[in-house]
Amino acid sequence: MKKMLFLLVFAVSVSAIYSCKKIKDLVGYLECEIDGGGSVKALQVYGTKIDSVLIVNGSGILGKTVTITLSNYGGVGVYNITPPKNAVWFGTPSSPTDLFGSDSTSTGTITITDVDGRYIDGTFSGTLVAPSGGSKTLTNGKFRFISPL
């Protein structure tokens, strides 16, 4: 009887873990740390890939948004931030004083780590500047863009 109960609990556990993994595979994300403190954890992630252009956008709970653009996207690889081709923008769209973007002085990389028919995974980091001066450094950035069905 104990053996039967153990097997039943084991089977249910394996089923639950497998189901959670499948659900996780269907969820996009975008997150990063800001200046070593604070972070953006996107609740909504949108993206598109048209020919050699990849755009990923994530919006967090406090209105912070990160947008990544690769104009010379070619699959898995490391892309240097070189605006206007490859760029990252960060900030609160409703607040012009809280917008930071890539310019000629920006440094950083966008790395595409995995491409499948359903998703594109990547990492990013870089130093962004504000038009009014000042800068923000984004670190430990990662994202998954899910293609529409």
Of 7-16, 69-78, 116-125, 135-144, the poorest mean pLDDT is in: 7-16
Residue 98 lies in a domain: yes
The pLDDT score that the predictor gives to residue 25 is 55
Residue 117 lies in a domain: yes
For 56-102, what is each residue's pLDDT tens digit?
999 887 788 999 999 999 999 999 999 889 999 998 878 877 889 99
Residue 78: helix, strand or coil by DSSP?
Answer: strand
Domain that holds residue 133: 28-146
Q: How many CB atoms lie within 10 A of CB 90?
A: 24
Residue 15 lies in a domain: no
Residue 142 lies in a domain: yes
Number of domains making up the chain: 1
Residue 12 lies in a domain: no
Residue 131 lies in a domain: yes
